[in-house]
Amino acid sequence: MLELLFDSPAFSLSHDADYNWLFAQWIGLQSKATSLAACAVILRCARQASYRKLLCDSSQALDGWNEIGEWVSTNYLPQLADSGIGVIAWINAVDWQTNTMIADFIQHSQRPFIATFDEGATAYDWLRSTHFMIR
């Protein structure tokens, strides 16, 4: 069961109560501002509760990552890991340019562990069955 934590035209964040993870979804055209705001919402929620897993769905996202890609990989993702997020299942964007930008910052990320998927059901199943050690 999903509990909506934040909702805007470009981004929503929910808590999956069945598995106690966060579900982030980007929709439509993104900008540097909307992407940064979404990251701040995820980080705030991750710090407030004991979430260990995050499901990111960028399948419907367009643009918005090219200006912040380095910051995401070197600053934001390590902060998520420090908050307790150990694994992320990331659903790839259908838009090839957006997908390329996201793949680039994921590739340069040291932590948390991120696995990418082309469709949601596989990402969901993988995240549900993934166990990890907290360092």
Instruction: Evaluate if residue 135 carries a pLDDT over 70.
Output: no
Q: What is the DSSP string of 53-116?
A: EEEEEEEEEES--TTTHHHIIIIIHHHHHHHT--EEEEEPPSSHHHHHHHHHHHHT--SSEEEE
Task: Indicate the pLDDT class of residue 132, thresholds 50, 70 and 90.
Answer: low
Look at residues 12, 7, 4, 9 and name the one whose alpha carbon lies nearest to residue 29. 9
Q: Which residues pair with 60 in a beta bridge?
A: 27
Task: Give the C-alpha separation, 120 to 135, whole Å.
Answer: 28
pLDDT band at 7 (very low <50, low <70, confident <90, very high): very high
Question: Given a cut of 80, is residue 99 above it in pLDDT?
Answer: no
Tokens of 6: 């934040």
- Which pTM value belongs to this model? 0.89
